[in-house]
Amino acid sequence: MPTGTLLYAQSGGVTAVINATAAAVLQAARARRVRVLAARNGILGALAEDLLDASALTATEVRRLAHTPGGAFGSCRLKLKSLAEDRAKYERLLAVFRAHDVRWFLYNGGNDSADTALKVSQLAAEYGYPLTCVGVPKTIDNDLAVTDCSPGFGSAAKYTAVSVRECALDVAAMAETSTRVFIYEAMGRHAGWLAAAAGLAGDGRDAAPHLILFPERVFDEADFLARVDAVVKRVGHCVVVASEGIRTADGRFVAEAGGQDSFGHAQLGGVAAHLAARVKDALGHKVHWALPDYLQRSARHLASATDLAHATAVGRAAVEAALAGQNAVMPVIVRDGDAPYRWHVDIAPLARIANHEKTMPKGFIRADGYGITAAARRYLAPLVAGEAYPPYGRDGLPDYVQPKVPGVRRRLPRWQA
Ligand code: F6P
């Protein structure tokens, strides 16, 4: 039986299936009789020595956690800078790890979090502290490098494609006397993966979504408006999917909600409202728009079974890698075939993943820039495949759990940032 404690922390925007990864971590560690602590609110809790005894969760609570969206232990956006700039913080983390005999650190996040896990492993090596750091992938943005896809994306993609398909039927039904243009705003920051997933809602020139706006393409308002008008004239209505991260030729976001997080990312949001106003003013069509925002990243009721399987597999693989002493690595999804879809989990060095951002390849965006290609469909289709409905209670609502996890007694003086 390995000795020591495993610390698990969630980081960045949560997903519909990140708790499935957490549940898999807990189950795999339990099978190996390893104690698991969780940091409350991600790395913030690790710095503040605000730790939770995740091993105290019952097997039933862990099973319910596996189908509950959100982040069970809390997550945060806190980017640690370089080892030189934030040395005191990294040293504090090591002090906390030492105080609680943490020998394995699992950090469940995106590319910035992979960078933090890598740096923690470097400092531990410098101090000769025996620590194995493993990044665990997640992000609805699907912008993690090396892995074929990121757990969390498939479910958000399924929500997007389903919502656009359903809404398009509504718009089509009323277009003659009411709304002619509908605009749906997809998350994804600098990567158009979620917007692209909307393309699965329909195929063919006149099928919705008629126009997709990608952050990988410069937004040209005049061209966009002309295309909207042409679709309305031809089809009778037009469904547009706009990525929140679209920019004009001068590099400016079309819509920025204002403010930045500690990762240095601008808060995006408001593209659909902006475009709707432009369509109404310039073309005179009646417009509706939707900002699904957190709905798309928490929609566990519409989770993809493939995504859930990925999220579970990376949690399990992360524990196995950590206990085998594979340091500064991340389990990644490797695609072995499209149809039938086949995949397996491999282990990749964090150095290849940290701080990289994977955007849509050229071959996935149609030549006119407003739709997806057959290659993109082949890539996306398996990721949204299969339903993984949560159990529903007698109240007609999903049976989600917010487990009360006991805190761990502090062993160090309070920390001042
Ligand atoms: O988790 C990724 C993401 O959902 C992006 O797509 C989005 O821009 C961002 O998070 C929103 O972040 P926050 O919740 O911190 O505003």
- Write out pLDDT tens, residues 277-296: 999 999 999 999 999 999 99
Each residue of 326-373: pLDDT tens digit? 999 999 999 999 999 999 999 999 999 998 999 999 999 999 999 999
Q: Given ligand 1 and candidates 111, 185, 189, which is best to mutate, with the most ligand atoms within 8 Å of its CB?
A: 189
Other C-beta atoms closer than 10 Å to the C-beta of 241 total: 31
- Ligand 1 pocket (Cβ < 6 Å) reads 12-13, 77, 139-141, 187-189, 244, 261, 267-268, 297
Tens of pLDDT, residue by residue over 109-133, are: 999 999 999 999 999 999 999 999 9
Q: Which of 10, 113, 141, 153 to probe ligand 1 with, by most ligand atoms within 8 A of CB?
A: 141
Upper half-sphere CA count for residue 154 (Cβ side, 13 Å): 26
Mutate to test the pocket of ligand 1, among 297, 298, 357, 359 (most ligand atoms within 8 A of CB): 297
Distance CA 228, CA 284 (A): 11
Per-residue pLDDT at 265? 73
Compute the CA torsion angle 154, 156, 158, 159 (nearest 10 deg).
170
| Nearest 10 degrees: Cα torsion 353, 243, 108, 17 | -130
Per-residue model confidence (pLDDT) at position 417: 73
What distance in Å separates the CA atoms of residue 14 and residue 52, rounded to the nearest whole number? 18
Report pLDDT for 332.
Answer: 98
Question: Any residues with CB less than 8 A from the CB of 380 and at least 6 apart, and which?
Answer: 157, 196, 197, 199, 200, 372
Mean pLDDT of the chain: 96
Amino acid 262: pLDDT: 64
Residues 167-178 have a mean pLDDT of 97
| Per-residue model confidence (pLDDT) at position 100 | 98
Please give the residue that has the higher pLDDT: either 262 or 177. Answer: 177
Min mean pLDDT across 76-90, 198-212, 235-249 is at 76-90
CA-187 nearest atom, ligand 1: 6
Percent share of the chain, pLDDT over 90:
93
Q: How far apart are CA 222 and CA 65, in angstroms?
A: 48
User: Is the CB of residue 55 less than 8 Å from the CB of residue 25?
Assistant: no
Residue nearest to atom 14 of ligand 1 (CA): 13
CB 161 within 8 A of CB 186: no
Q: Which residues are catalytic?
A: 141
Residue 54 vs residues 26, 57, 104, 132: alpha-carbon distances, Å: 8, 6, 14, 19
* 310 φ/ψ angles, rounded to the nearest 5 degrees: -65, -50
Q: What is the pLDDT of residues 129-149, one digit of tens each?
A: 999 999 999 999 999 999 999
What CA–CA distance (Å, rounded) separates 13 from 141? 10
Burial of 207 (0-12, 13-18, 19+ CB in 10 A): middle
What would the 3-class secondary structure string for 130-183 be?
A: CCEEEEEECCCCCCCCCCCCCCCHHHHHHHHHHHHHHHHHHHHHHCCCCCCEEE
Q: How far apart are CA 344 and CA 333, in angstroms?
A: 6
CA of 197 to the centre of ligand 1 (A): 17
Q: What is the DSSP string of 96-134?
A: HHHHTTEEEEEEEESHHHHHHHHHHHHHHHHHT---EEE
The residue whose CA is least distant from atom 15 of ligand 1 is 13
- Nearest residue (CA) to ligand 1, atom 10: 13
Burial 374-385 (b: 16+ CB within 10 A, else e): eebeebbbbbbe
**pLDDT confidence band for 256 (50 / 70 / 90):** confident
- pLDDT confidence of residue 264: 67
| Average pLDDT, integer, range 45-62 | 98
Query: Which amino acid type is present at position 73?
Result: F
- pLDDT exceeding 70 applies to what percent of the chain? 98
Residue 263 pLDDT more than 80?
no
Q: What is the pLDDT of residue 261?
A: 64
User: Residues 63-89: what's their mean pLDDT?
Assistant: 95
244 close to 226: Cβ distance less than 8 angstroms: no
pLDDT of residue 309: 98
Can you say how many angstroms the Cα of residue 284 is from the centroid of all Cα atoms in its chain? 37
159 pLDDT band, cuts 50/70/90, is: very high
CA of 228 to the centre of ligand 1 (A): 28
Q: Tell me the C-alpha distance between 92 and 95, whole Å.
A: 5
**Strands (DSSP E) along 245-312, which ranges?**
256-260, 266-268, 287-290
Q: List, in order, residues 6 or more apart from 327 with CB less than 8 Å away.
A: 121, 131, 132, 133, 134
Residue 71 is encoded by which pair of tokens?
């982040």
Helices (H) and strands (E) in the chain, counts: 12, 13
Long-range contacts of 292-296 (CB under 8 A, 24+ apart): 292/159, 292/160, 292/163, 292/184, 292/185, 292/186, 292/187, 293/185, 293/187, 293/269, 295/159, 296/140, 296/156, 296/159, 296/160, 296/163, 296/186, 296/187, 296/194
DSSP secondary structure letters along 299-360? -GGG-BHHHHHHHHHHHHHHHHHHHTT--SEEEEEEEEEETTEEEEEEEEEGGGTTT-----
Helix (H) or strand (E) holding 273: helix 271-283
Amino acid type, 80: L
Helix (H/G/I), strand (E/B), else coil: 217:
coil
